Structures are given as C-alpha cells and as structure tokens.
Structure 1
Amino acid sequence: MTVELNHTIVAAHDKKTSARFLADILGLAVSPQYGPFVPVHIPNGVTLDYMDVSGPIPPQHYAFLVSEDDFDTIFARIRDAGLTYWADPFHHHVDEINTNDGGRGTYFDDPNGHNLEILTRPYGSGSQG
C-alpha cells in the first residue's frame, strides 16, 4: 500500500500574504490561486493550501526537513527578516537553534501564529544534542 500526504489546508487571515511569507522564507514559489486556496508546493509533492478564515486561528505546527546547505540559507532569511526564533517548540530558548539527532533545527512563527520548523535530521535519526 502506498500512502502519501498530498496537501493540507492552512488557515490564514490573509492567504496571499501568508503564502508569500512561507514561500519567501523557504525559497519557494507561490502558485496561482486555485478556488479559495493559494497553494505553496513543497518539493516532496505536498502542497500547503492557504485559505482565508475569520476569527481566531488555532496554531498548527509545520516542520520542513531541509539539507544542511538549505538550513543555512533559510536560517539567514529568518534572521534577515528580523524574526524571533527558538531552539524548542515551546519557545523557551529564544535566539537559539538546536542540535537534536546530530542535526540542526529552529522554530519560528508565521503571521497567523503557526509554529514553523526547519530541521536537518528527522527526529530519532541520531544522538540528542
């Protein structure tokens, strides 16, 4: 059996701004609007479909596995944008990255309060640091 995540809907107060934020940070393109959605295609075939909603948005977590070189590039964009970043998902270790599983990772928020993460090693793939 083959099961793959194809897409997910990401709630936003401004779908175009939110999609552009993610695309710019990750170095990706925003695709043309499709129905009520503004898609950002991730290179592994998953699409994040941004959709406008009114009212409070419960924060979600989106983690992106990246290469070491891409981490450097994306992390530079995070810092250049003046974003606060943390070494942990609970936002206790500000302006730090982690070295979990022998890789590197950091967390930052998008304009809607979603907790975004970039990491270079999947959880459980190596030693804790």
Structure 2
Amino acid sequence: MSALQFLGYKVMQMKYERNTEFESVKEPISLEPKMTTKINLEDNNINITLSVVVGSLEHKNIPFQVSCSIIGTFVYKTDEDTTKIDLDTLIRNNAVAILYPYVRAIIATLTTTSNEFPGYNMPTINVSKVLAQQDKKRV
C-alpha cells in the first residue's frame, strides 16, 4: 500500500477566454502550458493546488487562453512509508502527477467545447521535471 493516499480533488476555477485580437496564421500555434503548485501541509493532511494556464490573450497569434485550478487532498501515512523518501519529493513526484490528468482532461474539455478551434490536449509529461525546470527559470 502507498504511504500517500489520494482522497479526491475539487475544481476551484476553470475558464476559457477567446482572444478577440487573434489573427489566423498558417504556421502551427505554440501553446506552452504553465503550471504552478501550492502545497499546504497540516500534520499528515496535504492539500495541493495545481494550476495550469494555456495560451494567451496578449499575443495576436494565439486564439485563446484557458486556465484551470484544482485542489487535491491527500493523507500521508508515515507508518506505511517503507521507502523513506523525503515528503517533498513524494509530493512533487507522486501527488502532483496524480492531479495532472484531471487538469489535462478539464483543459481538453474546455477547448473542445469552444466549438471554434480544435481541442487542445496537453502533452503527457514528467510533472516533477517540468516543475523543476520552471523553478529554475524563476530564479
């Protein structure tokens, strides 16, 4: 059994906004998802907020901006942690990775139901690696 038990998630925010300044282009559109996390630890209870923004309203070559924020609830069972992995590593590598497919599905649904542009399916990724790269860029 895993030391990290997933209790579920709640959608805190989801939004699709069309870019009214969008000008159609022939080349592929680059939509780079930007992820942020916020971790709240209270004893063995962990709440993780995963937020993703895709697209932009500031660039004429991007048709939309879509965002989603969810909070996942986990319980850390110390007595079942046989790996003795650092809790921060466990959260970054496992908990955030558990939440990512839910955000990915919400983003795909929002963009598909816009009925104007093709739906956007966020790539499958190594979540901890992407977050580490984003942390390096902020420094």
TMscore range, shorter length: under 0.3
Could you state the TM-score of these two structures normalised by the residue count of structure 1?
A: 0.23
- Which of the pair is proportionally richer in helix? 2
* Higher radius of gyration, 1 or 2: 2
Higher RCO, 1 vs 2 (CA within 8 Å, ≥6 residues apart)? 2
- Which of the pair is proportionally richer in strand? 2
Could you state the TM-score of these two structures normalised by the residue count of structure 2?
A: 0.22
